[in-house]
Amino acid sequence: MFTRFTKEEEAVHYPIDRRMHIAIKPYMRVIFFMIILVPILAAWLQYLVAGLPADPGRISYANTATDPTGFPVWVNLSHWVNFFFLVLIIRSGLSILVDHPRLYWNNGCKPGTDWIRFTPLEKPTDKSWTAKEDARYINPVLGLPGYRHTIGIARSWHFITVPFFMLNGIVFIILLFITNQWLRLVPTSLNIIPEAWNLFVYYATFHLPVEPNGYYHFNALQQLSYFAVVFILAPLAMLTGMAMSPAIENRFHWYPKMFGNRQGARSVHFLIMIAYVIFIVVHVALVAATGLVKNMNHITSGIDNAESLSGIYIGGAIILITTAFAILAHWLSWRKPRMLQRLNAVINGNLWRLTLNRFKPTAYYKEKDISPYFWANGKMPSSVTWKHLAEDDFREYKLRIGGLVDNPVELSLQELKNLGLKQTITMHHCIQGWSGIAEWGGVPISQIIELVKPAANVTTVAFYSFGEGLYGGHYYDTITLDNCLKPQSILAWEMNYAALPLEHGAPLRLRIENQLGYKMVKWISSIEFLETHEMVGKGFGGKNEDDEYFDLLANT
């Protein structure tokens, strides 16, 4: 679909193994059975023992003067705009999900503790296995943009869409409550619960109850369903998304606990997506089964007519436009990815800079919270220099610090240690979705800044690695000077009270706790103080930003 890859990109994006697999832990199968199948079995039991309940439609669907009449233009418009944005959000969310195709209820994300995984592979125990290698391929028909390791572009689509999805919802709710349209969605009596159950018995046993004319009001089960979608699912989707932000979690540690923990929020976020998909499927099926022509006229033309085909034509056109945009989105993802990256920066980068980026991480975790497992990530350096240094336990290592500073220096590992030791226990948030809690010990970057005395026009600090990027070339990333000065920002040579392991970045790695993991440069070779991030690499602030279209600011 209009996609051309270089040889290096093709090897990454289009791997030989493209199998999909879903493995759910038995205890979660039991829970799903209880939630989904038990009500259906109860409905069938009631039907087989006592027959169908009294049809609520025969006693409670008389139209009254207070009932809202018809569907205003704003209701119809927001309905279809919501559909359009949900398609983008769900498809881009699937691409994000498969970059770490496992979901957990614990913050440590140890392989084997995932409650569901979307990969046929168990983590190998006889060789090194990074989180990047664990990512899976997703067909671009399902995911936006699809393929493998396209999380940067997927996040652009996700975060470009979300603000407009929220705006559409806010406008809808405001208009809902300044008109009498709220009566369609908001229950006003507890009688709705037994009525909804009676209707569920009909649907679950493949019977159709008498339907009200939706032009005036919905039946009890419809009303509860629409209420849940608007006032429960949508807010929960926003709240769980925020709980995955490193800037929020490391400042307001209580917040993710509303969902158990950070990974609990990610799992609930996924389950909300599943709920949306199920709702859409059931909703469309019932629209068709209970009078497709009239229902489509209601929600498109705003007319109560069972003969006119205008609603079918308008709805069909909207679906075709959405499908055409899906094709365009795929084309944009591979022909104009930099445009998407820039657009996301304009919409969200500036928003995060003014809000989330201002939060200062606070100490919270204790030694007992340290995760028993911590995913490794990134390519181990192939640099001969680094390998020689590692063989000698980095005794000859020198960290070069320069750029726009009054006092450029070269410091050995021992000289860095002589500057002092700050130990902190924090949660690491990988852009792929996994997390882990670890102790990090090292020198506060504020002391390095104090030592080298950067020029007044410095806004950015670049950290260069001995390692390589996904498509080759030396890895680097940039951090704003103000984030380097925040609490718990350190150059770490210690992990979990021992020397930093090679796979986790020895001799030095960066820790900036309000940022995602790709900003935490490992195997640091040198540091440079710059006027702006545009002065290094391709000018987008890091190797992943240059080649994989990641965010310059990684607060969420």
Domains of the chain and CATH, by start: 7-356 (no CATH), 361-547 (3.90.420.10)
Give the model's pLDDT for residue 213.
84
Q: What angle do CA 312, 314, 318 make, to 5 degrees?
A: 115
The token duo for 231 is: 């006032």
3-state secondary structure of 411: strand
**CB neighbour class for 491 (10 Å; exposed up to 12, middle 13-18, buried from 19):** buried
pLDDT in tens, 120-132: 998 888 888 999 9
How far from chain centre, in Å, is Cα 247?
14
C-alpha–C-alpha distance, residues 162 and 23, integer Å: 29
User: Whole-angstrom Cα distance, residue 503 to residue 481?
Assistant: 27
The answer to whether 199 touches 219, Cβ cutoff 8 Å, is yes
CB atoms within 10 A of CB 58: 9
CB 217 within 8 A of CB 326: no
Report the C-alpha gap between 100 and 89 in whole angstroms: 18
Q: Which two tokens stand for residue 36?
A: 């989904």
The strand ranges marked E within 93-243 are: 102-103, 116-117
- Calculate helix-pair angle for 151-177, 234-243, nearest 10 degrees: 140
DSSP tag of 555: -
Task: Write out pLDDT tens, residues 238-250.
Answer: 999 999 999 999 9
pLDDT of residue 214: 84
Classify 367 as helix, strand or coil. helix
Give the span between the Cα atoms of 494 and 513, in whole angstroms.
16
pLDDT of amino acid 75: 95
CA–CA gap between residue 461 and residue 530 (Å, rounded): 6
Task: Confirm if 223 and 212 have CB atoms less than 8 A apart.
Answer: no
- Strand partners of residue 480: 460
What does the pLDDT read at residue 64? 63
HEC letters along 79-131: HHHHHHHHHHHHHHHHHHHCCCCEECCCCCCCCCCCCEECCCCCCCCCCCCCH
Residue 370 confidence (pLDDT): 97
Determine the pLDDT at residue 211.
Answer: 82
Q: Which residues of the chain have pLDDT under 70?
A: 1-3, 56-65
> Residue 5 CB: number of other CB atoms within 10 A?
13
Cβ proximity of 474 and 465 under 8 Å: yes
Give me the amino acid identity at 243: A
In 17-72, which ranges are continuous DSSP H helix? 26-32, 38-50
Q: Which of 440, 547, 383, 431 is nearest to 131 (CA)?
A: 431
